[in-house]
Amino acid sequence: MDRWVAHERIRKMEKLFHRYGGWAVAIAGFTPIPYKVFTIGAGLFRINKGVFLLASLLSRGARFFLEGFLIYFLGSAANTLLSSYLEIITISVTVLILLLYLVFRHTKTVNYFQTLWLSLRKKVEEFYKKKISPLGAFGNFLVVGLALGVGFMLLFAKLAEDLLDNELKLFDQIVIGIVHTLQGPVMTTVMKVITNIGSPPVMIGFALVAVVLLLVKKHIWDATMVGTALAGSWLMNELLKGLFQRTRPDAARLVEVTGYSFPSGHAMVSFALYGMLAYLIWINLTSGCLRTVSTLAFALLVVAIGISRIYLGVHYPSDVLAGFAAGGFWLVGCILGLQTIRYYKGKQPPPR
C-alpha cells in the first residue's frame, strides 16, 4: 500500500484500528457490505486477531440468531421485513452512533447543549413555580394528564396517517404472526371469554354496578364520569369508524362480527371504562395493596381484550393499538374533568 498511500496515513489507520477496530468490526457485523470492508481493513492494518475473532463471532452470531428468531415466529412475513428493512435499520443505527460520537467528542458542542439545556430547564422551572405549584396536587394532575393526552393523540394520529398511506401491512402481519403462535382449542375458548368481557352488555353491566355503588356512597361526580367514560368512548368510536371505514381482516374469523374495523371498539371502550374504574378504586381506597392489585388486574384485562380481538381474527393489530390510543385520550380527558371538579369544589383527594 505504500505505493498508493502515504506512510503516515497508513500508520494513522493502524493506530485507529488498534484502538477502535473491535468496536468497528462488531458494529459492521450487522451489515454485510460494510462488514466485508472492515474484514479487509482489519487484515491490512493488523488488528489483534483475538479481538477480531470475538467481535465477529458476537456480531454475526447475534445477527443470524435474530434472523432465525424472526423467521421462526413470523414465517413468510419475515422475508419482507428482512429484505426491506433490516439492512436500513442496522446501517441507520451505525450512522447514528457515529454521529453521536462525533458530536459529543467536541467540547464546544457539549458546552452549547449544556447551556441550552440549563436555560430551558430554568424557564420550565420558573413557569412551573408561578403557574403550576399554586394549584397543588391538581397542578401535577394537569401536567401529567396533558402530557399523556398529547402522547395518546400523537400515537393515534400516526396510526391514522399510516392507515391512509397503506403503511400498516407489515406491522399487522408481524403481530398477527406472533399472536397466532398461541392458537389452540383451549386458548380459543379463553380468548372468546376474554373478548366477551369487552362486549357492550358486559361493560354496561360493570358500569351500572359501579354507578350504583358510587351513588350509594354519594360520589355523584365519580358516578357521572363512569357513564361519561363509557358513553363518550363508544360514541367517539362510532364516529371514528365511520370516518376511516376500514374493512375487517379477510382471514377466517372465530366469532361473527359486523361493522368497520378501525379503531377497535372493544379496545377503545374497555380502555376508557376499565381505566376509569381502576382510577376510581385508586383514589377512593386506602389499602395500597388492594389499589395496586386492582389497577394491575384492570390493565392486564384491557391488554388481554385487545389481544383477543387479534387472535379471533376480527381486528388488525393496528386497530387495537389505535383503540388503546383513542381510549386513553378519552380516559385522560375524563380524569382531568373529574379532578377539575374536585379541585373547584374543594373535594380534591389528598396526595398519596
Cα 274 to Cα 291: distance, rounded to the nearest angstrom: 14
Q: Are the C-beta atoms of residues 283 and 349 closer than 8 Å to each other? A: yes
In this predicted structure, the answer to whether residue 350 has a pLDDT above a threshold of 50 is no
Q: How far apart are CA 118 and CA 113, in angstroms?
A: 9
Would you state the pLDDT for residue 64? 77
| Portion of the chain with pLDDT greater than 70, in percent | 71
pTM comes to 0.64
94-98, 165-169, 193-197: the lowest-pLDDT one: 94-98
Between residues 303 and 13, which one has the greater pLDDT? 303
Dist. CA 173–CA 317, nearest whole Å: 9
Please give the average per-residue pLDDT across 311-323, as a whole number. 90
- Which pLDDT belongs to residue 267? 92
The mean pLDDT of the chain is 79
pLDDT score at 100? 72
Q: At what angle do helices 200-216 and 185-197 cross, to 10 degrees?
A: 50
Distance CA 122, CA 134 (A): 18
Residue 222 has pLDDT above 50, yes or no: yes
Highest mean pLDDT among 10-19, 172-181, 236-245 belongs to 236-245
Spatial CB neighbours of 244, under 8 Å, sequence gap ≥ 6: 160, 163, 260, 262, 263
Residue 84 has a pLDDT of: 64
Is residue 69 scored above 70 in pLDDT? yes
As given in the structure block, the three cell numbers for residue 155 are 400515537
With 0-12 / 13-18 / 19 or more C-beta atoms within 10 angstroms meaning exposed / middle / buried, residue 265 is buried
Separation CA 302–CA 296 (nearest Å)? 10
Model confidence band, residue 351 (pLDDT cutoffs 50, 70, 90): very low
* pLDDT recorded at residue 219: 84
Q: What is the SS3 assignment for 197?
A: helix
